[in-house]
Amino acid sequence: MMNRFCRYIEKVFDFGWRNAQLKDPRRRPRIPLGAIWGGVFFLFVLRQRSLNAMEGQLRQPRRMERLIGPQKPSADRMGQVLSLMDPDPLRAMLSGMNHQLGRNKGLKNGWPFRVGAIDGHEFFSLPSSLLSPMLAASAAG
């Protein structure tokens, strides 16, 4: 299933090219930035609760190597590099992916927030305790 998802985001969003556009201030990195950002991206996709939990997922052989590569970052390294990065290129990347979903008519609504399910599998979710105040605030505003 993960291999299929990797092929999908590469085909639809050109994820590898978008990854290559990201920059960080390290001079001679041993682990490419794309591998670090890919690890963090999959942290959200797999609904892991921490960078340490994600590191355990990354250590499994041949898991997510299609987009991350053979050199997989540790939890500490992911946190260190993300703290150094400028958030504007990340925002541009995510905004471009969101725009692509709109162009593909994958997500169409008038709300400022979007929620999606791919192949009937839920990749992102909010607990109902957080969702109820957000819906009440948007209805009141």
Burial (Cβ within 10 Å: 0-12, 13-18, ≥19) of residue 38? buried
pLDDT at 121: 44
Total domains, the chain: 1
Question: 28-50 pLDDT, tens per residue?
Answer: 988 888 888 888 888 888 888 88
Looking up tokens 């997989």 gives: 72
Instruction: Tell me which residue range forms the domain holding 98.
Output: 2-140
pLDDT > 90 fraction of the chain, expressed in percent and rounded? 1
pLDDT at 123: 47
Q: What pTM did the predictor assign? A: 0.61
